[in-house]
Structure 1
């Protein structure tokens, strides 16, 4: 049985304008906080979809917490509509770029992290500092955290397909190690 991959976080960025008045935007948007002494951007939390948007004076927007790029785009469209309806000069359909995706999976086995660390180049395992083995792949360029429970976290993804590719490489490598040991 192949492990099921679940996308748990998608971070995207876009540009919705320039020189945005964050004080005004904070009054327009529900659930918005703007405290420039603590953070230079406006933080807006939506409940549907459940995401956080960071809006900066430069017009740059980061959206985090989405489960897909499409979900992030829905959230961005919502705030664009609210700001435009209030008369702000905002770009209608900005290009949305994925910065990072995080996926999880369960290998269905409890791997011996000590063996993996000894056998595989490019891994780091220091259980006194962090309970997972850190495995950096070059293609796709992602970081995989493998835990003794068999749970895996893949971060640094740009595309969902890369999670599948990375997981298959990990499983292939683990099968090779099992044969050697």
Structure 2
């Protein structure tokens, strides 16, 4: 199995009611577990909140959805969901369990050796692979519902997976495929 690091876990929480963002902003500004609050309705239609201790970003929308970005593991994402839900239970009156879901895990990996990106693009198959160095410095490969960026430095970025098993499988597979192409 190829080693990888999680760079970001992003997801959503859905509350079954409209949110008063102005009132939430005022309340959040008084809370010690929140580092920063930005609400500028003339510029953005969402409330931006950074939760302590690691400044994980949560955006709240009037529709009742909120997005979480910046968790470094599914466990940290789940912990933040619990913290946000506990806070929202204090502020809103609801007796349902809000829906929380991881939408995207971004992971990085490193390859030791690498053939040219042109050779890799051909080897992986041009149906799922794009490489236009004049447009973007990495090879873009779509595989098993994920998008992989392969840089000439050997760095791989995997995005689009919603589960750790998928991240692991995709990175293992692409590493094996690229190593086979590099050896040829």
Structure 1 residue 49, shift from structure 2 partner: 4.0
Contact 1:49/1:75 (<8 A) preserved: no
Write out aligned runs for 1:66-77 (5 A): 66-77=71-82
TM-score by length of 2: 0.86
Gaps of 5+ in 2: 30-35
Matches of 1:91 and 1:52, distance apart in 2: 25
| Aligned residues: CA RMSD | 1.9
Q: Tell me what 1:24 maps to.
A: 23
Q: Say if 2:133 is the partner of 1:134.
A: no
Gaps of 5+ in 1: none
Q: Tell me what 1:13 maps to.
A: 12
User: 2:39 is matched with which residue: 34, 43, 55?
Assistant: 34
Question: Which contiguous aligned blocks of 4+ residues in structure 1 show a shift greater than 4 angstroms?
Answer: none
Q: Tell me what 2:66 maps to.
A: 61
Secondary structure class of the residue paired with 2:108:
strand
Structure 1 residue 175, shift from structure 2 partner: 3.2
Worse overlay, 155-164 or 30-39: 30-39
Matches of 1:143 and 1:156, distance apart in 2: 6
In the comparison of the two structures, how many residue pairs are matched?
176
Write out aligned runs for 1:30-179 (5 A): 30=29, 31-85=36-90, 87-90=91-94, 93-121=97-125, 122-137=128-143, 139=144, 141-179=145-183
Secondary structure class of the residue paired with 2:77:
helix
The change in CA–CA distance for 1:120 and 1:32 in structure 2 (over 3 A counts) is: same
